[in-house]
Amino acid sequence: MARDELFGAIKWAEDGIDAWSTPAALPYFRGAGSRIHLTDDDREALPPDGHVLLRIETGERRRPPPEPQRAAWKQILERGDALWDEAMDALIAEYQRQRPNRVRYWNVVNDQRLLSRSLPESVDRETMRQMILPTMCTVQDPDEEHGTVDVYLTAVATWWSESLSVYVRDGRVTEVTALGSFMNRKLPWIETEAFGTLRRRAGAKRQPWWGEVTLERFRSFAAIAVDRSTWDESYTRSDEATSDLPWEVARGCANLGVYAAPNQPPTPGQAAAFEAFMKGQDAYGSQTIQVIFERYAREVSALRRKLKDGAPVLKDAAGLQDLIELTEVSVFPEERGSPVAIGLVFRGTWTGPAGLGARWRDGKLEQLGEASAATPQLPR
Of the candidates 14, 12, 18, 52, the residue with the CA atom closest to the CA atom of residue 32: 52
- Residues 75 and 101 occupy one common structural domain: yes
280: Cα within 13 Å, side-chain hemisphere: 16
Q: Is residue 380 part of a domain?
A: no
pLDDT tens sequence across 69-82? 999 999 999 999 99
- Residues 170 and 196 occupy one common structural domain: no
> Any bridge partners for residue 11, and if so which?
21
> What is the extent of the structural domain holding 196?
190-374
Q: Which of 134, 153, 186 finishes a domain?
A: 186
- Residues 194 and 126 occupy one common structural domain: no
Q: Give the span between the Cα atoms of 115 and 86, in whole angstroms.
A: 26
Of the candidates 341, 343, 339, the residue with the CA atom closest to the CA atom of residue 356: 343
Q: Give the span between the Cα atoms of 373 and 2, in whole angstroms.
A: 56
Q: Is residue 97 part of a domain?
A: yes
pLDDT tens sequence across 24-62? 999 999 999 999 988 888 888 899 999 999 999 999 899
| Number of domains, the chain | 2
- AA identity, residue 183: M
Q: Which of 186, 218, 244 finishes a domain?
A: 186
181-206: string of b/e by CB count within 10 Å (b at 16+)? bbeebeeebbebebbebbebeeeeee
Q: Is residue 150 part of a domain?
A: yes
Q: Is residue 65 part of a domain?
A: yes
pLDDT tens sequence across 205-238? 778 999 999 999 999 999 999 999 999 998 988 8
- Residues 83 and 182 occupy one common structural domain: yes
pTM for the full model? 0.95
Q: Is residue 379 part of a domain?
A: no
Q: Is residue 11 part of a domain?
A: yes
- Residues 208 and 165 occupy one common structural domain: no
Of the candidates 269, 142, 139, 271, the residue with the CA atom closest to the CA atom of residue 198: 271
Q: Give the span between the Cα atoms of 240 and 338, in whole angstroms.
A: 51
3-state secondary structure 343-369: EEEEEECCCCCCCEEEEEECCEEEEEE
Q: Is residue 304 part of a domain?
A: yes
Q: Which of 186, 201, 227 finishes a domain?
A: 186
Cβ distance 103 to 227 under 8 Å? no
- What is the DSSP code string of 265-294? PPPHHHHHHHHHHHHTHHHHHHHHHHHHHH
Of the candidates 200, 211, 310, the residue with the CA atom closest to the CA atom of residue 254: 211
> Any bridge partners for residue 137, and if so which?
54, 153
pLDDT tens sequence across 279-321? 999 999 999 999 999 999 999 999 999 888 889 999 999 999 9
Q: Is residue 199 part of a domain?
A: yes
